[in-house]
Amino acid sequence: MPELPEVETVRRGLAPVMEGVRIARADVNRPDLRWPFPPDMAARLTGACVLQLRRRSKYILADLDTGESLLIHLGMSGRMLISGAKVGAFFHDHQPPQKHDHVALHMESGARITFNDPRRFGAMDLLPSNAENQHKLLAGLGPEPLGNAFDGPYLAARLKGRRTPIKSALLDQSIVAGLGNIYVCEVLHRAGIHPARHAGRIAVRRAEALVPLIREVLSEAIAAGGSSLRDYRQADGELGYFQHAFAVYGREGAACTRPGCNGHVARIVQSGRSSFYCPGCQR
């Protein structure tokens, strides 16, 4: 499932084509994805102007001049594809509708934004723009890891006394929003912390030091266009490239990349997810 860097990359790709542009027509080709679409979604989107695109955790929010926001979740295989407009160095002509094109936004500029989702684990919803924190998918989310509210003292306080593994704590969306399995593995390797170590047993100094490492890993991933492992594509259809910089994720048995470490990457399963780490330098 796309994590924060992938969703942010998609948002940045969509923004030049959607912000300040009116939706001339919205086509909704089925009643639901993971959950039912809101009533009259096509009619509520048609004619609305997109004021801005934002990201909250792993969700994209398109604020409309109607006072509503379109919430977009990519799920396992969802893609937001742009055609009829130049995105960076790329221009894609409109193609005939495909089998899994579930929602299409025809912009007044001539561009088309298509939500394609073969597995249908994605979601779209409309919510009042001034009440997003009350939405079931957004309520209870922790601070953004790249925002000012997420700092060392905050994280140290949230980890204090927790008996859960640090890997699970960092995946807890109520502690910090948007982190997923890939980037937590990479962060813990840079920090030299074993993924199974109890969160509450990490010293305050080491807990606080996780914050700049989290920001560093996420910023590098965003700059690389995210990580393409299965279905993820950027809005212009291109792959992300951060997977080529993975130190541990998906590298079981490979030599550790940390200078001076002679260890090899190992894998354990935590809460049904693979955790990759180096036993030689992660304690």
Residue 58 bears catalytic tag:
yes
Catalytic pick among 2, 145, 165, 195: 2
Residue 273 bears catalytic tag:
yes
Buried b (16+ CB within 10 A) or exposed e, 44-78: bbbebebbebebbbbbbbbbbebebbbbbbbbbbb
Catalytic pick among 44, 197, 267, 273: 273
Residue 11 bears catalytic tag:
no
Taking a C-beta distance cutoff of 8 angstroms, is the pair 218, 226 a contact?
A: no
Residue 99 bears catalytic tag:
no
Taking a C-beta distance cutoff of 8 angstroms, is the pair 35, 75 a contact?
A: no
Catalytic pick among 56, 58, 79, 158: 58
Catalytic pick among 3, 68, 132, 208: 3
Taking a C-beta distance cutoff of 8 angstroms, is the pair 186, 247 a contact?
A: yes
Catalytic residue numbers read 2-3, 58, 273
